Structure 1
């Protein structure tokens, strides 16, 4: 029999998730093993998630919701759980992404987090060898669910050409990542432009930044340094960065030409190897 640990649902979103999972399982009269058999997971995994020792996944949450008739409770809690895995300084930014109606981002070094594949994200986040790499990757992928909402934000990303050529995670990871960017070509809500090397000095030379726009709230600008991020609602900063973004869009390749460059780099630099 599994040892029953006392959970404090107020300790963290992960503890609250585990508490609700156990409460609904016990209300259904099921053991951890029995629930695991129903949802095709092990009883041990159910126990680890109930005791906040392992992160749940979207698939696990959906299967438990269906098996226990929770009305989607655990799937909704999952957003809070994974957001809590983000660095504390970035959690506010994830909330801005979720609320924004328009997101305009310039990325000088890396593919934007909302467009990263799992393998690319793992390579980026694993550089500093964090103990909770799985949780960080899951949280980053969870952020991308905003693009699947009934009314997703409009996302426009300008990336430096160096982003395409910086081999993150190896050739196969990059090939799949660039293929993922190409899959957005026909999207009406996601636009990707490439700022070519030929553009020379440009308005993004000081670094990456993002402008968030909302239906009724003032725009917010987000910048990063090597340690943390800096959001501001200062109107002067919002106007300044919006103008800078307009200049970057003008200097970047048109959408179709950008897609052709992405495809060219993918095939020439990261194509299939014998």
Structure 2
């Protein structure tokens, strides 16, 4: 696909009468980058670059439409198969143990999650992945949008990925999407204890022909399951998780409660800030001095006058 993308860029560039350097100037990259793209060597083009090339070459979205296939080419076969299934699924049912699923992530939350990848090769690759994730969310607003049923482990709400401000925005997004009739969110509380899907995420995809496929994912692995007997087993596990989770309205209450907690966290000074404030107050007139070991020196109290006999 990278080779096909490159050949289209070269053909469009020749038709436009541009040199590689001239096209690079229009797309805000050096000419050698255009040469790499045309030869399908070096780093894959980012989505942003594909858009600039499309505009510079007046390609009528051809290059933008090709880009997802170039992007998927960097993934293993099973991952590409899952992405292909997900792109045409009529219903997506997902359990997430650690983070909000990509389809519902805000941009800042997605960036915070993706930046944790130890294999990340730099800021450009991070932004490429963020852009690709946000683009995949567009299907939720398309005419053929799938039904989406999300079960979040309570840990997803409690783990402050990106900090309190990022979490507040992300939880607000969860509350907003549940107003859509095709999106349902449930929370699986800690009190439910252990279950069969612990340790990772579980996604059940319902395909247009009525069949299903399952995708299991952990921190460092992913597995696409298509064997009918295994798919039925994982589908039953998902149904049990759905039964154990809080009903949708109670789930919304838990999301609101978690969001209020992040509001409190943002207004509460950190331990370092509290220490600085205490030191500042102690340096003010009338403030108590501290010993070297941190103990307070008591205020001197006047001795009681002795009464003359």
Q: TM-score, normalised by structure 1?
A: 0.79
Q: CA deviation at 1:192?
A: 1.4
1:171 matched to 2:159? no
2:36 to 51, 73, 90: 51
1:91-170 to 2 correspondences below 5 Å: 91-132=80-121, 133-134=125-126, 135-170=128-163
| Aligned residue in 2 for 1:208 | 201
Task: Judge which range, 127-136 or 166-175, deviates more.
Answer: 127-136
Please list every run of 5 or more consecutive structure 2 residues that lacks an aligned counterpart in the other structure: 268-309
Q: CA deviation at 1:152?
A: 1.6
1:72-130 Cα offsets, whole Å, 9 max, x none, are 21111111122224455422211121121111111112211222233333333333432
| Aligned residue in 2 for 1:265 | 258
1:42 matched to 2:28? yes
1:246 matched to 2:239? yes
Preserved contact between residue 107 and residue 208 of structure 1 (Cα < 8 Å): yes
Preserved contact between residue 215 and residue 225 of structure 2 (Cα < 8 Å): yes
Q: Where do 4+ consecutive residues of structure 1 move more than 6 Å? A: none
Task: Judge which range, 24-33 or 207-216, deviates more.
Answer: 24-33
| Aligned residue in 2 for 1:10 | none
Preserved contact between residue 167 and residue 262 of structure 2 (Cα < 8 Å): no
| Aligned residue in 2 for 1:194 | 187
Q: CA deviation at 1:194?
A: 1.0
Q: TM-score, normalised by structure 2?
A: 0.71
CA RMSD of superposed structures (Å): 2.9
How many residue pairs get aligned? The number is 259
For the pair shown, which has the larger CA radius of gyration, 1 or 2? 2
Preserved contact between residue 49 and residue 55 of structure 1 (Cα < 8 Å): no
Identify if the C-alpha distance between structure 1 residues 125 and 49 changes in structure 2 by more than 3 Å, giving closer, same or farther: farther
1:237 matched to 2:230? yes
Identify if the C-alpha distance between structure 1 residues 99 and 159 changes in structure 2 by more than 3 Å, giving closer, same or farther: same
